[in-house]
Amino acid sequence: MQIGFPNPVDVFVVGGGPAGLAAAIAARRHGLSVLVADGAIPPIDKACGEGLMPDGVEALHHLGVTVPEGEAYPCRGIRFVSEGARAEADFPRGIAYGIRRTHLHRIMLDHAAASGVRMIWQAAVTGLHPEGALLAGELVRARWIVGADGIRSRVRAWANLDRRGDTSSGAIQEKQKNLRFAFRRHYRIEPWTNFMELYWGRHCQIYVTPVGREEVCVALISTSQKLRLRIEDALGDFPELGARLEHAQQASNERGAITVTRRLRRVCRGHAVLVGDSSGGVDAITGEGLCLAFRQAALLGDCLASGDLARYQKGHRSLIRRPALMARMMLFMANNRHFRQRVMQVFESSPRSLARLLAMHVGEGCARNYISNGLAFGWELLRT
């Protein structure tokens, strides 16, 4: 493959998934020239719950990207189901979208192209260079290199941004402890609700997200590699959901991925900077991965335009704080059955408690609200 790059670009984005495209779009909104390279063929798919929370929809709009009517299924809130108990709450404002990952990627691709982003597919980036990066054996001169190449980011390794090098036994144990396993499949069935549902089980959680008028996405997340839970096996622990899906036609093959909670000390070094999963992230149980990536991208676009990556480092740390807190709370529920059942009792007896938690989840309100909501929730737990 012969690729010529006679002219330098302002921004070279390694990775053309939603995070990379969001960063490219944000940079173009500031008038920067942008090249995106990825070894895959679009549209790029990934095993995920395919839910875009209201704050994620808002973050996407901030980038100028609008999801056309009919491409997504609007959802009004969240429903928790755990061992016979159920509780639900509407989002405090806005709506969420259930949307096939491939549809979202195509929408973002079209917007990036219309914005003037140049994209090259099936092209391997093989390393960084003092003047840019190496693509298909040729030097791409770029002022900034943006690593948006996912959880196993090569850009992160090349720029020496892995936490403590991630070679110590402690770091390896930490990654293994936080690592979780996800599988996703679509079923051809009319959605039975306009809520996103989260089913809590003994060894896993299952998300059900309507993504079309006759299709739902079912995503499973578990911690145990030894159990090797797959969707069909796990449904035995969720008889109500299993009965709904028993005769539904499978609309896609089961697809797997890993999810991990990971914090990096630094997300930029020299002319390299990270965004999305490559820059760390929170467990998929929060459903906040896309929103976090879009907000990081918007901030990064501002900082690349001003040349101030120190501000991005500081802002990145701030952006991940709330999702990280929610991840810890939800993972504690996942790993502690007795605590989870007490929480569900609170949610059933006091629906406002779940509404307050949901408001915190989507970033509604200020720090003072989070504190007061947390205290109120703690009081309800003590009374239960």
Q: What is the pLDDT of residues 188-201, one digit of tens each?
A: 999 999 999 999 99
Query: HSE (CB half, 13 Å, CA atoms) of 158?
Result: 23
Q: Indicate whether 24 and 164 sit together in one domain.
A: yes
Q: Indicate whether 242 and 265 sit together in one domain.
A: no
* Domain-located, residue 92: no
Q: What confidence category does residue 229 fall into, taking pLDDT thresholds of 50, 70 and 90? A: confident
Q: Indicate whether 286 and 344 sit together in one domain.
A: no
pLDDT at 280 over 50: yes
* Domain-located, residue 61: no
Q: Indicate whether 203 and 318 sit together in one domain.
A: no
* Domain-located, residue 291: yes
Q: Which domain holds residue 315?
A: 9-50+100-174+261-328
Could you please report the per-residue DSSP string of 112-151?
HHHHT-EEEES--EEEEETTEEEETTEEEEEEEEEE---T
Q: What confidence category does residue 2 fall into, taking pLDDT thresholds of 50, 70 and 90? A: very low
SS3 label, residue 38: strand
The whole-number pLDDT of residue 366 equals: 53
Q: Which residue has the higher pLDDT, 176 or 24?
A: 24
Q: Indicate whether 240 and 136 sit together in one domain.
A: no
Last residue within a domain, chosen from 259, 281, 308: 259
Last residue within a domain, chosen from 233, 259, 285: 259
User: Residue 323: which region, alpha, beta or left (left: phi > 0; alpha: psi -120 to 50)?
Assistant: alpha
pTM of the model: 0.90
The whole-number pLDDT of residue 228 equals: 62
The whole-number pLDDT of residue 117 equals: 98
The whole-number pLDDT of residue 361 equals: 81
Q: Indicate whether 268 and 252 sit together in one domain.
A: no
The whole-number pLDDT of residue 209 equals: 97
Q: What confidence category does residue 176 fall into, taking pLDDT thresholds of 50, 70 and 90? A: very low
Q: Indicate whether 114 and 200 sit together in one domain.
A: no
The whole-number pLDDT of residue 365 equals: 62
The whole-number pLDDT of residue 383 equals: 56
* Domain-located, residue 220: yes
Q: Indicate whether 150 and 35 sit together in one domain.
A: yes
* Domain-located, residue 206: yes
Average pLDDT over residues 2-23: 88
Q: Percent of the chain having pLDDT more than 70? A: 88
Q: What confidence category does residue 267 fall into, taking pLDDT thresholds of 50, 70 and 90? A: very high
Q: What confidence category does residue 337 fall into, taking pLDDT thresholds of 50, 70 and 90? A: very high
d(CA 201, CA 261): 20
Q: Which of 238, 245, 261, 237 is nearest to 327 (CA)?
A: 261
pLDDT at 171 over 70: no
* Domain-located, residue 75: no
Q: What confidence category does residue 362 fall into, taking pLDDT thresholds of 50, 70 and 90? A: confident
Last residue within a domain, chosen from 282, 308, 328: 328
Q: Which residue has the higher pLDDT, 317 or 362?
A: 317
Average pLDDT over residues 293-312: 97
The whole-number pLDDT of residue 192 equals: 97
Look up residue 365 and give its two tokens.
Answer: 């309100």
Q: What confidence category does residue 356 fall into, taking pLDDT thresholds of 50, 70 and 90? A: confident
Lowest mean pLDDT among 54-58, 119-123, 289-293, 351-355: 351-355
Q: Which of 193, 190, 199, 217 is nearest to 51 (CA)?
A: 217
Count the domains in the chain: 3
Instruction: Round the average pLDDT of the chain to a whole number and report it.
Output: 89
* Domain-located, residue 3: no
The whole-number pLDDT of residue 226 equals: 53
